Chains A and B, each alone.
Chain A
Amino acid sequence: MSDHFSGPRALSEPAADITDVYAFPAPDGPDHLVLVLNVFGKSGPSAVFSDAVIYRFRIRSVDIATTGPEAAFAPSESEFIFDCSFDVPSGRSDSGRPLQKGRCLTPSGQSISFRVDEESGGMGAGVQVFAGQRSDPFFLDVRMIEKTMAEGKLAFKAKGSDTLYGTNILSIVLKLEWRKVLKGGPLFAVVCETLAAGKRPVRIERVGRPEIKNVTLSWKQFDQVNRDLDVRDLYNSEDAFNIKGDYFDVYRTRMNANLAFHDGLDGKVDWPFDQHGNHPLTKLLLADFLVVDPSKPFMETSYFEIERSMLERRPHSTPGGRWLNQDFMDFVYTLYVNGGNGLPINDGIDGPIAWSSTTFPYLAPRNPPKAAAA
């Protein structure tokens, strides 16, 4: 749930509030790419997908344009879109969940039907789709993150308290035969969006990388230019592959300020700003899409390895992307605070209530309603 609560608009429609996006080579099938879009963090048992929202996966083949300090991706202009939509529920299942049907429109125009919560999902040409309520794979200690921000020093305890322990999300999982369904590659950029359906769909939210809006952009107090501005609704409304030049500097300034704050948490500078006054990670992070190489074998902890390899001018050795079980908060704090030049930072939470599995639909079954309280 790295992106939950990411702006006032997202909160007003919880079923459109994206919590996380994942992209990884299928651990249970070669030549398959898995994409996961999670919404509605901390959802109670009656949660269902909205019938007025399009749940969109956008995929572009991407090249590495430059390496070294100016490292950058060059996404292709052509795009593959998978749109999922849902009906109004009718009746209840034996477990008490509302019965809901959905469909996924693939780039080839095929419509794949499925029943929500049915583990095998729906099947089409080179595509398998699941949608339903599952255990939230994300884990973090929000209180200690807030304390860190308030006190200006790392506040994590040896044993933290998982804010998301026992909570559920609504998840959509796509398993693609990527060589058959997509063109280009093997590097792909992935962004997920929720859009208000209608003649001219309006973007509600978009997510690529984890913890960009909340950890990296939301804090206003370090930004000397737009100290009073919650940039997240504006940021959500942008096209991830084509950010408006007018606002790019707003995000850049905010991200520079917040990354500098994090870098200083250990009392030393590991990420000196470049000659343009930018943090070395800002440009890469504002390319806010997950970059995954499904031609590489599945790996548990490979998020940002492709980007690190670009900064270090070496070929990447992992699929990059993002796997469900990676301890992301440990990773991102270590990256932001010491860049790997020190001991790994541990936020005191080492796993979720239930690990995701290596078989479709990967995410653990939903938790019973009282699991969080227990």
Chain B
Amino acid sequence: MIDVPETVPTDWPATDPLMLTDGGIAVLNLHALIEGFGDHSNTAEAAALIDLLILRGLILGHISDYDRAAELADRHVAAATTDAAAYVARARTHGVFHRFAEALGDLDHADRITPGGTATKRDRAAILQALGDYHEALVTYGTADCGRPFEQAAALAGFWADCGKTDTARRFYLQSLGSYRGVSPFPLAQLDFQLGVMWMRHGDLNEARACFEAAVRRVPAYAAAQGHLAEVHAGLGEPETAVARLTLLATSSDDPDYAAQLARILGEMGRREESVGWRRMAASRYDELIATHPAAFADHAAEFWLGAGNDPPKALHLAEFNLQVRKTPRAYDLLTQALEANGAGAASARTFGV
């Protein structure tokens, strides 16, 4: 839990059912947009393509899309050195890979070119939030309000969810739903997902399940929501359902999280032979990703090596690195677990400020 003063929305929204594009159509059209922008003609289209690739990476769990976005962002900045939007777009790709210092550097650069840009402020707030600098993030979200009620409420719902302030997050979530005027299901599915993660961390698996199920209803192909829903199923004593969901994901996504979860749950079910196969796949992929994107995958890889991966020293190394990247409560918790798994005592923990 984080101690940040809360400002709760006062007006409760009407709850008319929203008419959204079917999640399958939305994914087809996301592919169609990306294919169509393959030959982007100007800087606005290049920036849009970077955002679309990040969105597809997030929805379908395709790390390859993040890689393509990052490569495009580098080329975009090189080709448009005086375009603030190019730096903002690259900051987003840095943020995806948890390269927060570089992300802030790009946002500073964008601010020097175009002072006071609202998009820059919102991106900066998101980076500060990811770094665990919650006070500064909240202040920055306040200055980023550009009169778009949904965007502002959704950002604050995600912020308070991250802080673990469940009641405030829920109220901003409802305000987001009430102010949404679009038909794309992606923004709302992402909100459902963020709330689900909050409830999961809070230990309320039934609330978490409701949120993840809502996200999956809106966008059935939403990999992270499917993956977390599987974890919740396992936690609620439905491991077979969890295995069915995760098997599909682990074979379709290049993110090793699903194979790692599958290895853990199968191990707990006593299906050791199957577990070992998925464990090998996850270990190999985590090693590849840590070599190329250490900051982005240090936390998840550490969790894997602490659990199904069963390599506590490797987990400790990664948890220490993760704490250098961002000093969030979760990063401290992870390090504590790694220290305990390695038999280190309270004295060791104190040296890291845990």
Contacts and interface: CB of A to CB of B under 8 A. Distances in A.
Interface of A: 5, 9, 11-16, 40-48, 50-53, 88-89, 98, 142-143, 146, 163, 167-168, 196-199, 202, 204, 369, 372-373
Nearest to A194: B183
A46 B29 contact: yes
B183 A196 contact: yes
B182 A13 contact: yes
Contacts of B36: 41-44, 47, 167-168
Contacts of A47: 28-29, 32, 36
B290 interface: no
Contacts of A46: 28-29, 31-32, 35
Nearest to A168: B36
Give 5 nearest A-B pairs by CB, closest first: A44-B35, A42-B36, A44-B32, A47-B32, A198-B19
Contact of A40 (B19, B32, B41): B32
Most central of A9, A16, A51, A373 by chain B CB within 10 Å: A51
A155 to B, nearest CB: 14
B28 A48 contact: yes
Given A44-B34, A89-B25, 4 more contacts: A13-B21, A44-B32, A44-B35, A196-B183
Contacts, number: 100
Given A13-B184, A44-B34, A46-B29, A5 B21 contact: no
Contacts of B39: 372-373
Nearest to B118: A228
Nearest to A54: B19
Contacts of B269: none
Contacts of A163: 41-42
Given A12-B182, A16-B183, A196-B183, A51 B28 contact: no
Contact of B182 (A9, A43, A373): A9
B22 A52 contact: yes
A369 B48 contact: no
B319 to A, nearest CB: 38
Given A16-B183, A142-B41, A53 B21 contact: yes
A1 B44 CA distance: 15
Contact of B48 (A9, A11, A51): A11
A51 B32 contact: no
Main secondary structure of the interface of A (DSSP, over half): loop
Contact of B25 (A12, A45, A88, A202): A88
A142 B24 CA distance: 32
Interface string B173-189: 00000000111100100
Contact of A146 (B33, B34, B42, B184): B42
B11 interface: no
B37 interface: yes
A13 B187 CA distance: 11
13 contacts: A5-B45, A11-B48, A14-B29, A44-B33, A44-B35, A50-B29, A52-B21, A88-B24, A89-B25, A143-B41, A167-B36, A197-B19, A198-B18
Nearest to B35: A44
B25 A196 contact: no
Interface in B1-23: 16-22
Nearest to B27: A46
B38 interface: yes
Contacts of A196: 19, 181-183
B74 to A, nearest CB: 21
Contacts of B20: 52
Given A43-B32, A142-B42, A51 B25 contact: yes
Nearest to B40: A42
A45 B35 contact: yes
Given A12-B182, A142-B41, A196-B182, A98 B28 contact: yes
Contacts of B41: 142-143, 163
